[in-house]
Structure 1
């Protein structure tokens, strides 16, 4: 899990390369020692002579270079990517210089190019490639044991393969960039689609004028609560609210003022209802509130306070007059049913209207 995380950022990748480099040193020591033991059976030289020539010296150089690379990486962390690249290239030189007679030893230089490709940055691939080619030709022209082992045809083969690896590395980077951009676009499209779906869902469930839940959502909540009440004996109450003489307000002041009144009344419900309550604009000038986690008395007190607050609210567009609401309430009992429950609350509302309006009535 930690290694997978290391690949996700450059610093993590650098640490992973350093860890792997140290691990490779120990693996090389083990393999070299095993190889020396086998070779020693067919060689006149003593075990320690072979070990010092083919294992100790290159391993010591590798450890020193790797330690210096690690030190410079810590001291100059800003240039850590390039320090590691140069360090890996230097280690490759240790084995090329110590084993120039090994067939294809110069192809170790390609490893540094492949490592630079892990950063998914073209400039690092170009930097490492140029450095590797300079190193190759420097060894060829100035290190006779190396040049004597390589034919001219091998040089052209190496350059061709080397350029091929550069092209493959750059191609992988371009492909990675394309896939990353495609992934980002896909994620952006999914986010936009999710936002649109949320907005559409909200539009389907809320009233555009007041921002409250709408008529459709009211019945969805009511059905769900009735179902839960049957299973868990949940107590809840329904309040149906009607703005008194709302038609007269529209006729006298206009529908625009009527809409302002609806919004302000709806705002009072949102401000005063508790977090356990659900407020709906049922339709026209009618609202509904489903109250949960309260007994009948507590629900009545909440709704009657809202009624009183609305009656004290004045409207400058109506010459600072106030509006009132009538509220009918009913507490649900298991087995009552949705239609009977709603009808009981509705009858309480009409009773409040007949009794003079601006009052709250809870059916027994």
Structure 2
């Protein structure tokens, strides 16, 4: 049916509104309870021109059973047929409303309660549900008016015309509120979406400003910042080891096989580095084919093992793009020591790297392994 056609994201919307649906259904129990207490209080303390039997059975017990049955039915729909829960809620709220109106139609203002199901529909921002609820009020009023003589006795000709007009006017007002609310909600969603997109763009820009696009490692500027921070921590007693890795014969690779292959080599080397470092370590592309590592929370032997694993892994790879040749790296490694400035530490590691390149390449030089 066109009337019950559901939006494509209905399950997601329903899931987001489920807690409010449960609260609404629980509120029906509260309405029934308050009305029952009010009826009982009026019978006990005010003049009620009916017998006790008629009151307790027809005015109290039967309406409570009927209204409770409708609420239980709505609970069942919520669990078993959630796609129809909004219409079930509208039917139940209409039923409860008109039972209360019917039991108290001697109170002139009581028909105004028929607007409650209509304005309740506004909360869920559903135009079809709003008009569905409005039609239910109209149909229920006309049915009661035509079928129950006692109900007609309390309504003048003006009431018979004014009540449907009152329902229609309330529906139109509720419709205007709903449209305004949906527009406001749409504007809010657009604002939130724009804010989220801005946050994402800023995060991407921040990442791009800190990382090297080719290797996805930190760039030299970011490395310098992390190096300063790590050195400060090392000055307070934390372990810090600095390693510089340089790809051997990289210029020859570029000249012989082209820069595309050279870029691929840089990418693979960076992947191997990331494979062995821990989450507390910092890896950066420091220069063209040079990489820098800040190794934290490890002793010297563990730091040496880490860079040795990288060197060994790379030296064991055969590159079909290089006619099955290998790509090796030379490494300088040194630990932060008392009395050593960060400039001196970097210069010492750079000297070890130079010695590794000069003494045959594909090796690690440290203070313990000077060639």
TM category, shorter? 0.7 to 0.9
Bigger CA drift: 292-301 or 69-78?
69-78
Map 1:211-290 onto structure 2 (within 5 A). Answer: 211-231=216-236, 233-290=237-294
Deviations 1:141-164, CA, capped at 9 Å, x for gaps: 443333333333334433333222
> Residue 307 in 1 paired to residue 311 in 2?
yes
Q: 1:9 to 1:242 in 2, by over 3 A?
A: closer
* 1:63 shift after superposition: 0.7
> Among residues 109, 113, 125, which one is paired with 1:108 in the alignment?
113
> Which structure has the larger Rg?
1
> Residue 88 in 1 paired to residue 93 in 2?
yes
* 1:55 shift after superposition: 6.5
Taking the aligned partners of 2:248 and 2:189, their CA distance within structure 1 comes to 55
> Among residues 324, 327, 339, which one is paired with 2:328 in the alignment?
324
Q: How many equivalent residue pairs?
A: 351
What SS does the corresponding residue of 1:329 show, helix, strand or coil?
A: strand
Structure 1 segments unaligned to the other structure (5+ residues): 1-6
> Residue 292 in 1 paired to residue 296 in 2?
yes
Taking the aligned partners of 2:257 and 2:166, their CA distance within structure 1 comes to 87
Deviations 1:195-232, CA, capped at 9 Å, x for gaps: 3222222211221222222111211211111111223x
Does the CA contact (< 8 Å) of 1:33 and 1:51 recur in 2? no
Query: What is the TM-score with the length of structure 2 in the denominator?
Result: 0.82
> Among residues 142, 146, 163, which one is paired with 1:137 in the alignment?
142
Query: What is the TM-score with the length of structure 1 in the denominator?
Result: 0.83
Match in the other structure for 1:63 = 64
Taking the aligned partners of 1:260 and 1:89, their CA distance within structure 2 comes to 70
* 1:14 shift after superposition: 4.6
* 1:166 shift after superposition: 0.4
Map 1:143-222 onto structure 2 (within 5 A). Answer: 143-222=148-227
> Among residues 34, 37, 52, which one is paired with 1:30 in the alignment?
37
What SS does the corresponding residue of 1:321 show, helix, strand or coil?
A: coil
Does the CA contact (< 8 Å) of 1:344 and 1:363 recur in 2? no
Match in the other structure for 1:21 = 28
Bigger CA drift: 292-301 or 183-192?
183-192
* 1:84 shift after superposition: 4.0
Does the CA contact (< 8 Å) of 1:116 and 1:128 recur in 2? yes
What SS does the corresponding residue of 1:344 show, helix, strand or coil?
A: helix
* 1:295 shift after superposition: 1.7
Q: 1:93 to 1:54 in 2, by over 3 A?
A: farther
Q: Give RMSD over aligned pairs.
A: 3.0
Taking the aligned partners of 2:21 and 2:253, their CA distance within structure 1 comes to 74
Does the CA contact (< 8 Å) of 1:25 and 1:62 recur in 2? no
Deviations 1:324-352, CA, capped at 9 Å, x for gaps: 32211110024422111111111112222
Bigger CA drift: 351-360 or 73-82?
73-82
Taking the aligned partners of 2:271 and 2:91, their CA distance within structure 1 comes to 68
* 1:296 shift after superposition: 1.7
Bigger CA drift: 282-291 or 14-23?
14-23
Does the CA contact (< 8 Å) of 2:29 and 2:68 recur in 1? no
Map 1:41-56 onto structure 2 (within 5 A). Answer: 49=50
Match in the other structure for 2:5 = none
> Residue 340 in 1 paired to residue 350 in 2?
no
Deviations 1:138-192, CA, capped at 9 Å, x for gaps: 3334433333333333344333332221012222332333334334333333333
Q: 1:245 to 1:81 in 2, by over 3 A?
A: closer
Does the CA contact (< 8 Å) of 1:101 and 1:145 recur in 2? no
Map 1:1-20 onto structure 2 (within 5 A). Answer: 12-20=19-27
